[in-house]
Structure 1
Amino acid sequence: MRKILLPVFLITFSSSFLFSQDIAVKLKKALAKFESDSQLSHASIGFLVIDAKTGKTIVEKNPEIGLAPASCQKVLTAASAYELLGSDYKFKTEFRYDGTIADSVLKGNLYIIGKGDPSFASWRYTLSTPQTIAKELVDALHHAGVSKIIGQIISVNTGFDSQNIPDGWIWEDIGNYYGAGIGSLVWNENQFDLILKPGKNQGDSVKIIGTKPEYHFQLINELKTGAKESGDNAYMYFSPGVEYGYLRGTIPCCVDSFAISASVTDGEEFARDQIISILNSNHFFVDATAIKSGSSSKYNYSSNLIFTKISPSLDSLTYWFLKKSINLYGEAYLKSIALEKGGFASTTKGVDIVQDFWEHRGIERSSISIMDGSGLSPQNRITPRALVQILQYAKTRPWYNGFYNGLPEINGIHMKSGSIEGARSYTGYIKNNNGIEYTFAIIVNNFSGNASTVVRKMWVLLDTMK
């Protein structure tokens, strides 16, 4: 029997070995062509492909050079959160009160104690929508015997730093929906829609019709009407802590209305105002002098719990984090890691804990030089090797299936993409027609010309592995 099996084994091994050699040759040829492209004359390219099963390097180009990974950094943050928080981790937001309840009247303050739940009042989850939270809060107050509140609505900062936006984010990003910052309390992913009415002709002024949800914010409107079907080229600019911003760019003409999404300047204040609106609409007659926020040590809230809102599990959140590349979630994860493991929620503390974690698992600290959890900062630097090592590590963990299912399928490949100005990246897994799986990362910085053209050329390179 062994005389029959040995040749079969040798044939199988030889075939696999020869195919691996063939892929390496093809990849090197495709990489050489990619590098010689005129769009990449002054670009920095990092590329690493390994056999996912054996760990053997198939091809590499600058795998140890730190480059701006853009949203491919989210695989680092997701894997870190799975390990340091756990796939079943859930955020909690508490509603508490002080004072007394008599004759259905609460004479005291209502406290909202958040821990940075990015899904709180998000439209993505049936059990966390604004409508669901409104009903649960109103029901809980009625159950506690409260139908009127004489007091204030106070959002309490629970060990979070005052810096909602990480260092390294640029002014062009932070006013737009994908640049929303994170504090202890979130509502609607800290974004709102601006409803606009363009003029009839190109160059006409644009009117602001309203916001959804309601949001009071002073805007200096410099927006103009663009050409028909020219798309959304509108941007909101503001500085952190400032209660006004600038609306610039263009929206297309020849439509009745046009909506753009922007970030709020203060997520805690935004959430508190939405909760006040809910209570007012349900006839709780909330005092309009609600204060902004405060340190938890200043308020007597610990003994009177009204209602706790629990988020979906981290595994569920990560599906959207990776699939839709939601920057807010990355920043929430990083601060939660800092809060749970270091006792204080700050981005810098979260970065330090994440770097320590991976350093103890064989990834050099200097290969993960990051400013945030999402990859939005152009100052982030990660090596292709570090990304591949993290992906390989993920394959050994019990949470791998959730992680893998969150990776988008792009060009027929399960991979995370990344894009910021001057940078495009991909990292993930690809299994070819012969059943051989590869783990890879490719980062391109400082290319010239059209970004979508560079992306298509990157896909052609990756297609070599199929």
Structure 2
Amino acid sequence: MAYFNFTYIDCTFLIMSFLCRALSVPLILVTLSIPAIADDYLASMMDIISPPQSQISVSIWDVETKQTIYSLNDNTLMLPASIQKVITAVAASHQLGKDFHYQTELSYDGRISNNILEGNLYIHFQGDPTLKRKHLSALISKLKQQDINQITGSVLLVADESKQIRAPGWAWDDLGICYAAPVSNYIIDRNCVKTTLKPTKEASSVSIKSIYPITMTSTAEFDSSIDVKDAQKHFCELHMQRFDNNHYEIDGCYPGNKSIRLAIAVNDPSLYSKNVVADLLTENDISYQAISISSNKNLPRSVDTTHNGHTVIATHESEHLPALLKTMLQKSDNLIADSLLKQIGKEYFHQSKQAINGQQQDGFAVGAKAIEHIMLALGLPFIEANIVDGSGLSRYNLMTAHQMMSLLQLIKNDKDLQYIETLLPVSGQSGTLRYKKYFNQAPLKNEVAAKTGTMMGVENLVGYLNADNGKQYAFVIIENGLSPKAKKSRLAPFSALLLQTLNELP
């Protein structure tokens, strides 16, 4: 007979007095198996801490003994949200390798004579999600350094054709916001524009820096009689409409009388890129005939992606894959995740010499199919999973806790993937867990390395816990069906309560 007393659980953390009283009762378990003790204890605690409204899926694995110590609904398909990015990290590491990086290149054909480029200028884009205007400016300044002030031919922005720039299942009302910016092979400044909406005597006005080639008008009104907290009650909210040529209109209501900053997703990335390049050429006093978009497949053979017959002027390289993944996981960066998904698709089907519908295509479906193949090749049980994008933004993604746990186990056991654990946000220290309530204080502070996954109705967490008993546990906690009202009314997140309970195991 084994006796375990759990009276030392931190009641100030758990807050709920009834839960503290429940945990203060000595627990007597008759068993000889430590995993069984853990399973029995966790099952008993789940009866107390499980939220009544949500659907829960849980899997917990002892890293040292390599045994599952608790699971609940772990074969139920659920919405993963941003924990999907752990799948993308594993697939990118396996398919692309740590040395992978994006490249943006400036080249020309013809010749340079008397400060004139007699030929065409090419800017080769690769869909680098970290490419900024300043990087393009540095490339184009190389022309000035060679005393070029005129281009007799065209300026061609070249990339693989990318017809699908938003994934199926992305929420319609997210599409104008920067965290759902279009995933094109033409990306500058994250395809995101920062603007300011200001109150005026008439209604409001929009302030946009001249470096952003978009237009925006507003008929929205500020209502100083409404408090921000009461905006929903008074139906006071802003609306935005997107039109051709990167034009936007804002209407509706905003509480208070203070200016607000908006982050607007670029609607047409290729047009936006053309306008940015035109501005940069003008800034450098370089004249040209025209700027146009060109797919790699439409270039003549002498001007293909190998740049046969080209002279390369300058190249900008992104950081290598580990740094990209760190940003993706720490900041839950959707653009990096979905850009990598597309790159995984290109590389996988190119290497396997497979074609989809008779030709290579660029899109979310290609990347998602490649990740499915990679997961199965790694021996992971992903047959029933539904993978649509790399970020988890799509409402069509479906994953089980068992599948997510197989990823965490692979990361621990595969020496080439173990570095991914070091890139995860750490509770109270970094990324999305740095300021997260209940994770930035004892006993969880500094002890959890995990990826969050949050969207409307979803609050998930997957990663690793260093417990007080000296053990490390891998955990998958998926919670779906959480309404905003239910989330606001509860005293602590379910994931925090479960990890607090797990931390107290003997």
Q: TM-score, normalised by structure 2?
A: 0.78
Trace 1:36-75 onto structure 2 (pairs within 5 A).
Answer: 37-38=51-52, 40=53, 43-75=54-86
CA pair 246-371 structure 1, distance change in 2 beyond 3 A: farther
In structure 2, the residue matched to 1:33 is 48
Q: Is the 1:104–1:145 Cα contact (8 Å) retained in structure 2?
A: yes
Q: Is the 1:120–1:186 Cα contact (8 Å) retained in structure 2?
A: yes
CA pair 67-237 structure 1, distance change in 2 beyond 3 A: farther
CA pair 225-70 structure 1, distance change in 2 beyond 3 A: farther
The offset of 1:265, in angstroms, is 1.0
Q: Is the 1:174–1:238 Cα contact (8 Å) retained in structure 2?
A: no
Q: Separation in 1 of the partners of 2:186 and 2:315?
A: 13
> Is 1:94 the counterpart of 2:105 in the alignment?
yes
Counterpart secondary structure, 1:238: strand
Match 1:384 to one of 401, 410, 418: 401
> Is 1:329 the counterpart of 2:336 in the alignment?
yes
In structure 2, the residue matched to 1:451 is 487
Match 2:467 to one of 412, 427, 432: 432
Counterpart secondary structure, 1:433: coil
In structure 1, the residue matched to 2:502 is 465
Q: Separation in 2 of the partners of 1:23 and 1:246?
A: 56
In structure 2, the residue matched to 1:404 is 421
Moved more, 108-117 or 358-367: 358-367
What letter matches 2:208 in structure 1? Answer: G
Structure 2: 5+ residue runs without aligned partners?
Answer: 1-31, 351-360, 427-432, 434-438, 440-444
Q: Separation in 2 of the partners of 1:44 and 1:242?
A: 43
> Deviations along 1:88-129, whole A, 9 cap, x unmatched?
2111112122343221111333222111111111xxxxxxxx
In structure 1, the residue matched to 2:276 is 274
Moved more, 187-196 or 445-454: 445-454
In structure 2, the residue matched to 1:395 is 412
Quote the RMSD (CA, aligned, Å): 2.7
Trace 1:223-262 onto structure 2 (pairs within 5 A).
Answer: 224-225=222-223, 227=226, 234=238, 236-238=240-242, 243-248=246-251, 250-255=253-258, 257-262=259-264
Q: Separation in 2 of the partners of 1:276 and 1:44?
A: 52
Q: Separation in 1 of the partners of 2:183 and 2:134?
A: 22
- Counting aligned pairs with the same residue, the percent is 25
Q: Separation in 2 of the partners of 1:199 and 1:64?
A: 55
Match 1:356 to one of 370, 373, 377: 373
Q: Separation in 1 of the partners of 2:94 and 2:315?
A: 25
Counterpart secondary structure, 2:493: helix
Match 2:364 to one of 341, 347, 351: 347
The offset of 1:64, in angstroms, is 0.7
Match 2:123 to one of 99, 112, 125: 112
Counterpart secondary structure, 1:442: strand
In structure 1, the residue matched to 2:198 is 197
The offset of 1:50, in angstroms, is 1.1
In structure 1, the residue matched to 2:356 is none
Q: Is the 1:234–1:248 Cα contact (8 Å) retained in structure 2?
A: yes
The offset of 1:132, in angstroms, is 4.4
Q: Separation in 1 of the partners of 2:65 and 2:362?
A: 39
Moved more, 211-220 or 79-88: 211-220
Match 2:140 to one of 122, 133, 137: 137
In structure 1, the residue matched to 2:323 is 316
Q: Separation in 2 of the partners of 1:132 and 1:298?
A: 24
In structure 2, the residue matched to 1:175 is 176
The offset of 1:172, in angstroms, is 0.7
Structure 1: 5+ residue runs without aligned partners?
Answer: 1-16, 122-129
Q: Separation in 1 of the partners of 2:207 and 2:262?
A: 12
Q: Separation in 2 of the partners of 1:176 and 1:18?
A: 51
What letter matches 1:440 in structure 2? Answer: F
The offset of 1:355, in angstroms, is 0.5
CA pair 242-391 structure 1, distance change in 2 beyond 3 A: farther
> Deviations along 1:294-340, whole A, 9 cap, x unmatched?
44433554222222211100100111100001111111011001111
Q: Separation in 2 of the partners of 1:211 and 1:236?
A: 19
CA pair 452-358 structure 1, distance change in 2 beyond 3 A: farther
CA pair 233-433 structure 1, distance change in 2 beyond 3 A: farther
Relative contact order higher in (CA < 8 Å, ≥ 6 apart): 1
